[in-house]
Amino acid sequence: MAAEWRLLDDIDLRIIELLRKDGRMSFIDIGRKVGLSEGAVRRRIKLLQEKGIIKRFTIEVDRGYGVSAITFIHLEYSSSAKDVVNKVAKVPGVETVYELTGRFDALAIISAPSIGELNERIDMIRNIEGVKGTETAVILRIID
């Protein structure tokens, strides 16, 4: 798939960026912004989906969570990263988990209604077999 990204032109990249900002933007509105007809935008988006570049359209729902954090995770050397990451992904409030290179082995984006509940979720991650340790940064604000 990495090769597919190299084949995208500036218009495809602009369409993707517009959809990232507003996944509900109409084909007509996208067309106006990129200088294409509604039909041309529709065809490009369909092709981006067929190539697997656009995997899904999602919505962001306000779940009333009061705090979000990024938890960096160190894994035991003998553990299977895939197995541990899959277990982390199942912890309540974990929105996304990434396997990384570098200083940390993985990171999780976590949301919770309160600091206390965020701490409980981090403790759940720490208690997963194969997790050696965590470092957490609480998100103060999101810049749109």
pTM value surpassing 0.95: no
* Residue 144 or 136, more confident: 136
Q: Give the pLDDT confidence score for residue 123 in this predicted structure.
A: 97
Name which CATH class applies to 2-50.
mainly alpha
Residue % of the chain over a pLDDT of 70: 90
Query: Domain segments of the chain: what residues?
Result: 2-50, 67-139
pLDDT mean across residues, the chain: 88
**Statement: residue 128 has pLDDT above 70:** yes
CATH of domain 67-139: 3.30.70.920
Residues whose CB falls within 8 Å of the CB of residue 94, separated by 6 or more in sequence, listed in order:
88, 108, 109, 110, 121, 125
Place 21 in a pLDDT band, splitting at 50, 70 and 90: confident
| pLDDT at 63 > cutoff 90 | no
DSSP lists the bridge partners of residue 75 as: 131
pLDDT of residue 65 exceeding 70: no
CA–CA dist 109, 18 (Å, integer): 23
